[in-house]
Amino acid sequence: MSIPPIEDKRVGQLIDANLDRAREGLRVVEEWCRFALEDKELVITLKDWRQQLGKHHLYQYKQCRALSKDQGIGLKHPLQDIRELPEEVITANCARVQEALRVLEEFTYKVNQNLAACSKEIRYGLYELELTILKTSLKSKRLQKLISCNLYLITSPKENITEIVEAALLSGVGIIQYRCKEGTDLERLTEAKNLSFICKKYQALFIINDRIDIALAVDADGVHLGQDDLPTSVARKLIGEELLIGKSTHSIEQLKQAASEGCDYLGLGPINSTQTKPGSNPIGLELLLEASNTIKLPWFAIGGINTSTISSILSSGASRVAVVGAIMNANDPSKATLKLLENFQ
């Protein structure tokens, strides 16, 4: 289809400006997906859209460019100065692209139907892709926070559970797992809501043991599964891609299997005898070095870990540990947390 010459230079200038705007915005989003999210499929899609628009950026449109007459150059809005998070930059640039594409649709429908159709297709595609990017960004942020955590606190039922968890967070714990096998669902939901609020206050990860429904209800960062819980693939379908999935393992074989299932982190244990699971046989220290040489995912040694045993566990190959009683049963949870964290310095 041949494109007729632009009779109205103002329309040509408008098309040129919005093609530039859309392509620039797509490049900003593409670079985030490339370097921050490291997501090849997203990069391929965004690059293809840029190339499609570039193909339609004809010389006759560029000839209409008249920057000296553009009354929008240099204009800023106060909201542009309060973007602090990368996700805010991504949202702003997706909106920039979507708005530019809508302008192109309106002004090219009669003069360049191919460009109008291309603009419409990309605009609708970006509506969906933006959500994918934001979810992937949230997952990436959670993973980065997880990787930085050395000490993981798993709760046990306590009347003052909120105070204990807050003391641990204040002292440096970066991830909390709510584990409760007692009480009604309503009681657990209420308790989980309180703990979720506190974790968000201290920018810590909040994980729910077993209960996907409660995790979704309280906007948790993920769920932790046992060997007899729902399969990882089923859990992933239920919680979506942006939440974390952790899994308990008790051998190198289970560790490898869980890693291949798409889990985000793993627990290995019990290393020592533990009151949390009195019927479980300890696996000992021997597997820790093999695990460290085998598994690239973040994993936490667990089971009977306290201030007396943590140094031997770290020296045997573990770099992260999960504890229950060492903090939950401590007379001074804050002091107990600080003593445990001293071993990572």
Cα torsion angle, 275, 148, 159, 342, sign: positive
Cβ 207 vs Cβ 230: under 8 Å: no
Residue extents of the structural domains in the chain: 9-140, 148-344
The Cα–Cα gap between 287 and 100 comes to 57
Determine if the peptide bond prior to 278 is cis (ω within 30°). no
- Contact between 249 and 268 (Cβ < 8 Å): yes
Instruction: Name which CATH class applies to 148-344.
Output: alpha beta
Backbone angles phi, psi at 337, to 5 degrees: -65, -45
Quick one: which of 106, 98, 93 has its CA closest to 122? 98
**CB count in 10 Å sphere of residue 135:** 14
Identify the weakest region by mean pLDDT among 34-48, 211-225, 228-242, 277-291.
277-291
Lowest mean pLDDT among 8-17, 53-62, 224-233, 276-285: 276-285
Q: What pLDDT shows up at residue 337?
A: 98
pLDDT given for residue 85 in this prediction: 86
pTM of the model: 0.84
Q: Mean pLDDT score of the chain, rounded to an integer?
A: 93
* Closest-CA residue to 329 (of 188, 169, 155, 177): 155
Hey, what are 340's tokens?
């445990």
Pick the CATH number of 9-140 from 1.20.1050, 2.60.120, 1.10.760, 1.20.1260: 1.20.1260
How high is the pLDDT of residue 107? 96
Task: Identify the CA nearest to 22 among candidates 89, 135, 81, 102.
Answer: 102
Residue 212's contacts (CB-CB under 8 Å, 6 or more residues apart) are 223, 230, 235, 238, 239
- The percent of residues in the chain predicted with pLDDT above 70, rounded, is 93
Tokens coding 267: 């627990």
Tell me the per-residue pLDDT of 116-154, one tens digit each, with 9 for 90 and over. Answer: 999 999 999 999 999 999 999 999 999 999 999 999 999
Looking at residues 261-272, what average pLDDT do you find?
A: 96
Of the listed ranges 9-18, 72-81, 143-152, 300-309, the one predicted with least confidence:
72-81
Is pLDDT at 72 greater than 80 in this prediction?
A: no
Q: Are strands 151-154 and 205-209 parallel, antiparallel or unpaired?
A: unpaired
At 68 the pLDDT is 66
pLDDT value, residue 288: 96
User: In this predicted model, what pLDDT tens digit does every residue of 285-320 receive, in sequence order?
Assistant: 999 999 999 999 999 999 999 999 999 999 999 999
Give the per-residue pLDDT at 6. Answer: 84
Q: Are 245 and 236 in contact (CB under 8 A)?
A: yes
Q: Is the pLDDT of residue 208 over 70?
A: yes
Q: What whole-number distance in Å separates Cα of residue 232 and Cα of residue 234?
A: 5
Q: Above 90 in pLDDT, residue 78?
A: no
- Rounded CA separation 87/92 (Å): 9
> What's the N-to-C CA distance of the chain in angstroms?
68
User: What mean pLDDT do residues 196-202 have?
Assistant: 98
